[in-house]
Structure 1
Amino acid sequence: MFIADRVVPRADRAESGTRRRVLTLISQDGPITAAQLADAVGLTAAGVRRHLDLLVEEGAVEEREHVLTGARKRGRPARAYVLTEVGHKALRGDYDELATSVLRFLRDHQGEDAVAAFARDRARDLAARIAPAVKKVGDDPEARSQALAQALQDEGYAASSRPVGKGTPLAGVQLCQGHCPVQHVAAEFPQFCEAEAEVFSELLGAHVQRLASLAHGDHVCTTFIPIQQLAQSPEKRRDPR
């Protein structure tokens, strides 16, 4: 059962649905402030804090200091919310332990190469599904990166993207994935993270760099996509199937 349905058993369906929406937004965009959440779900600050208090009490989210850009850049850090392991478990399926056991069996009887081959096969299946959405936007590097984020979002990865380093030689896009269906498995089998980064590179035609990972205890998977390299090397993109 989803965690938002367990926090307050007497809550009606609308309340439960709103809390689920809040949890999903924190997964997708965290660290995110209460004010930002209120804008996103159309609630007052007091209304969204009621949901946040319940999720904090349940252990699904936690507060962290987060420096905002813009007008508040020089001010005190805002309080923002990220998912905890409990929150991630609420967004995962119930088959993590079974999947891990199967992969351990595969590793023990067929070796690490067999696990890596399975991870690559799974990543290429994902790439085959999302490649059309990435290709149809043309060769604009930022547009392709945004299309990749949206395609991953449609696949349930709670993905988002934002430009970083504009106007510098290090210009790029930061791709964030607030939820990963194989997070628990990837914690023991990093081949899944490696295979995913590999197909991202093939889809975009640039060597992407994984900066943070849910599987390693970070609150979000973060991948840097070098826009300048993409712009200079469109011919390097190939179908990752």
Structure 2
Amino acid sequence: HINKEGSIAGPKVLEHIVDTVLQFEGDQHYMYRILRSIKNRFGSTAELGIYEMRQNGLRQVSNPSELLLSQDHDGMSGVAIASAIEGVRPFLIETQALVSSAVYGNPQRSATGFDLRRMNMLLAVLEKRVGFKLAQKDVFLNIAGGLKVNDPAIDLSVISAILSSNMDTEIERDTCMAGEVGLSGEIRPVNRIEQRIGEAEKLGFKQILIPKHNLQGMDTSKLKIEIIPVRKVEEAFRALFG
């Protein structure tokens, strides 16, 4: 802030002096850390690095998608895979949800690695647009790996994991998704969809749900992965659960 003398003061004074400010993020119970650039006078602040703490120090994770995904979740409900982008790097993350009947009166809402207010908004969309009554349900959400993800394109995987847990029905493990969910239940387009699809294809996924608007002008003839365009939450529900 600026004090009465017109000088820069406060906890941000050091940031005005230096050229670059870097910040480590991550859960203390996990080995993975994200290095973000908060300020960079000589480059983009969209760059980030993902590191793993080992016995000999921090080591770069060259392919974070393989480490962040469970190797085996056959028969497990409440798990959905999202194709996310943090900074300029695409990677796949596992969204886990648990929905159960509220035993202690007021339903509990908990989110780890995801904004709790946004999760509550998505729950309201599910009740209003899809007809799932979650008012008397406890809902717990977790982004596997201890990472905090701000990409709105994981909205679709969040609601899919919640629906999967509520119905106790698993989502096919070779299916992933990317899409932002609007208040009216529409699946809004996301940026850099080609990179998201390419990352899913590289890891052997056979299907990916994307917003229908993102399909415009896209050449899908050379893709080995099946593209499933969806326009509303209801369409995504039918595509995943029939």
Length-normalised TM-score, structure 2: 0.27
Which structure is higher in strand share? 2
More helix as a share of residues: 1
TM-score, reference length from structure 1: 0.27
